[in-house]
Amino acid sequence: MEFKKELQVANLKTVEKTLDRVLNKGQIKENSFLETLIAQDVTWHCGGMSDPFQPIEKELHITKQLIDITNKHDIHILFSTKTDSTYDCNLRNDLHTFQLSITNLEDRTDIEPNVASIDKRIQFYKDLKADGFKVGIRVQPFIPSITTSEIVDVFHDADYFTIEGLKLVPQNKEQKDYLLELLKLDKSDFTQMGLLNLKPQIRLDLYKEFIDKLKRYKIPFSIANNDLHYISSGKCCCGDTLIHKSTDFNNTALIQKYGMDYSLDNVLAETGECSGCKANHLFTSNRQEGCFSVDDFFNKRFDRKSSPFSPKFLYKE
């Protein structure tokens, strides 16, 4: 809770200049993967790493300024958030959609001490729906014995559901030990996938009641765990109903088109204008392994069981 000491604030001038150059002047930096995606009108996801409507927004207005800039270019954005307020941002239901993060209906402040009450978030959900916004529910993380299928009943008119299982940070002993004790789980229930993930069959058993209820309500859904992407109603694990456009070479899209045993040739057939783009936007610097382009990346790593985009990574019952 001392994040202000090291708070990094986005440089919105850079965003503004980039969008003007790419979308107004048609100037894309050579081999820029990010700028190619911008030019292709691929939906932005705001909230994957940091909540766009956290309380500091009341002071800094970073998200508000970002939306003002992107609205000039009609950019579609999916916002993932735990908020009960959008802090007077200039939102448009023709451009913006939401995923609200819900893990429980009991206001478990021992797990999420600084989240708005569930009653306030339910009202926020209803207000967004009444204003014509498409709203999905992101159950992330799905917490054993705490996340229950009643969430589906409360949000039975949601436009989409995304489920992703609990993960532990191996290096964070305090978090790991706390949750193992709280949930009465053992480390042997987890498997190493970068982070510690509950074993896939345990996750599927936990999800079953949830999924059965989603099907009864006829709500489209996806499992966002990389090894379970084949359990999806669309070609993007955030949900086709919530996005304007996604890439065709993410593995969820590949599974939809080619099946679970899609080939490297299938991937390369879908990369299109992104094939020669710099691959360093795909991963951190310590994983580049000499790959320059997006196609280099797929060619070199496709057959590895440890590569989340490879069919070999998928868990097949």
Question: What is the structure's pLDDT at 113?
Answer: 86
Helix 62-71 to helix 12-19 angle, to the nearest 10 degrees? Answer: 10
Taking only the tens place, the pLDDT of each residue in 164-173 is: 999 999 999 9
Least confident among 23-27, 217-221, 237-241: 237-241
Contact partners, residue 34, CB within 8 Å, separation at least 6? 281
Residue 53, burial from CB neighbour count under 10 angstroms (0-12, 13-18, 19+): buried
Taking only the tens place, the pLDDT of each residue in 43-83 is: 999 998 889 999 889 999 999 999 999 999 999 999 999 99
Q: Is 283 helix (H, G, I), strand (E, B) or coil?
A: coil
Q: State the average pLDDT for the chain.
A: 93
- Chain length of the chain: 317
Q: What is the DSSP string of 27-83?
A: ---TT-HHHHHHHTTPPEEE-SSS-TT-TTHHHH-HHHHHHHHHHTTT--EEEEE--
Domain ranges of the chain: 247-317
Question: What is the structure's pLDDT at 287?
Answer: 65
Q: What is the DSSP string of 139-159?
A: EEEE-TTTS-THHHHHTTT-S
The answer to pTM > 0.85 is yes
